[in-house]
Amino acid sequence: MRLLFFITLLSSHLFAIITAPIHTSITSIDKEKKLITIPTHQEAKVGMYGVIVHWFDKSHSTALSWTEVKSIEGETTTLSMTPIHALEQNALPSGRWEAKVGDEVILGYNYHRALLISPNSKIYKTLTLSHTERTWVHPDIFTAVLSMQGHPTPLKEDFAYACRTNNIGLVYFSLEDTILTVDCQSFKILKSEASQLKTEKSQLPFYTRIRNIEANWFGSGNEELEEYAPYYIELLSRYNPQSEWVQEYKPAGQPKKESSWFDSWSIISKEDKENVQ
């Protein structure tokens, strides 16, 4: 019973990123730089992806563009705008609407749907079964995308494509003694947390029930992944050079040891801790 209670607390702490989208409005626009500003929300983070929506009336609206949080300064948050190519249809007429002050911004779009990259089935089941506030898209679906792309080694663009086609907002990476929360489109680290779920054995390229991933003859991602954690650490570091976690992790090759939320749970018996691991 204590073990189940501990796992539930662990899950609630690790996955403390919004599940409900943030709704707000555009306060200013720089069309030349393709930037907008919105009022700062306490749950907003740099790297969050979202969508700009224009409402024609109370029942009809259209998505104008994707948007990403670039900076948060006091009461003002600045975001970039990116075209939504997924809605293009050359056989039909398209509108020429542009974002305007007052249009709706929805941040954390599809954050209720997530993909977990974990080293083995034990860790995967522990995390997903103890946290039900998100809809977990099984990694087998991502594996099918990798096989279609011919990438036994996942690339950033593979994650982005899989998330767009399956309406996934977040990717969680279970890496050694850390779990990272990453926006699937910007690939920015939104949160890092210590974890006591130790890795005894790793499946490559991650836990999946599909054992064979088709590979291209040449090109990036066509080689078999040789090590689990080192690869994903390097991949995430490449797109998050200013991340506090990257700055602490990369120089020494391991995260800086600090007291964590878990240290206060000394009431958990040694046997229970071993069962979690």
Contact 79, 105 (CB under 8 A): yes
Q: Tell me the average pLDDT of the chain.
A: 84
Structure tokens at 268: 């958990």
- Phi and psi at 219, nearest 5°, equal 105, 165
What are 200-253's pLDDT values in tens digits? 789 999 999 998 999 998 889 999 999 999 999 999 999 999 888 888 876 544
CB 68 within 8 A of CB 47: yes
pLDDT digits (tens, 9 = 90+) for 4-43: 444 444 444 555 566 789 999 999 999 999 999 999 999 9
Backbone angles phi, psi at 254, to 5 degrees: -155, 155
Answer yes or no: pTM beyond 0.85. Answer: no
Instruction: Enumerate domains of the chain plus CATH numbers.
Output: 2-15+111-276 (no CATH), 22-107 (2.40.30.230)
Tell me the two tokens of residue 183. 């926006």
CA–CA distance, 52 with 209 (Å, rounded to integer): 37
For residue 256, pLDDT over 70 is answered with no
